[in-house]
A = this chain, B = another copy of it.
Amino acid sequence: MTSIEQLPTPCLVVEERLLQANLDRMASQLSALGVPLRPHFKTCKNIDMLRRSLEGQPGGVTVSTLAEADACARAGINDILYAVGIAPGKLPAVCERVRAGISLKIVLDHPDTATAVAQYARREDLALDVLLEIDADGERAGLPPGHPDLLKAAAILAEGGCRVTGVMVHAGGSYRCRDIDCLKRVAEQERVAATTAAARLGAQGHSISVVSVGSTPTALFAQGLEGVTEVRAGVYMFQDLVMAGLGVCRVEDIALSVLAEVIGHRRGRGEVVIDAGWTALSRDRGTADQPLDQGYGMVCDLEGRPVDNVIVRSTNQEHGIVTGRDGAPLEPVDWPIGRRLRILPNHACATAACHAGYHLIRTADSSAQWLPRCQPQLLAGNRVEPGQAQGVMP
A:40-96 near B, CB below 8 Å: 42, 64-66, 84-90, 93
User: Do the beta carbons of B355 and A376 come within 8 Å of each other?
Assistant: yes
Contact of A370 among B112, B316, B318, B381 (CB under 8 A): B381
A:329-380 near B, CB below 8 Å: 336-338, 340, 349-350, 353-357, 359, 368, 370, 375-380
| Chain A contact surface mostly | loop
* Interface check A173, CB cutoff 8 A: no
- Copies of this protein in the complex: 2
* Interface check A34, CB cutoff 8 A: no
Q: How many residues on the A side are at the interface (Cβ–Cβ under 8 A)?
A: 74
Given the known inter-chain contacts A88-B261, A116-B337, A267-B144, please indicate yes or no for A370 contacting B376, CB distance below 8 A: no
User: Do the beta carbons of A89 and B319 come within 8 Å of each other?
Assistant: no
Q: Mark A86-108, 1 if CB is under 8 A from B, else 0.
A: 11111001000000000000001
Give A residues with C-beta under 8 Å from B. Answer: 2, 7-11, 42, 64-66, 84-90, 93, 108-110, 112-113, 116, 138, 140-141, 143-144, 147, 149, 172, 261-267, 269, 273, 275, 278-280, 282-285, 316-319, 336-338, 340, 349-350, 353-357, 359, 368, 370, 375-381
Knowing that A87-B263, A141-B264 touch, tell me 9 more A-B residue pairs with CB under 8 angstroms.
A8-B380, A9-B89, A86-B263, A88-B261, A113-B337, A141-B266, A144-B267, A279-B377, A283-B350
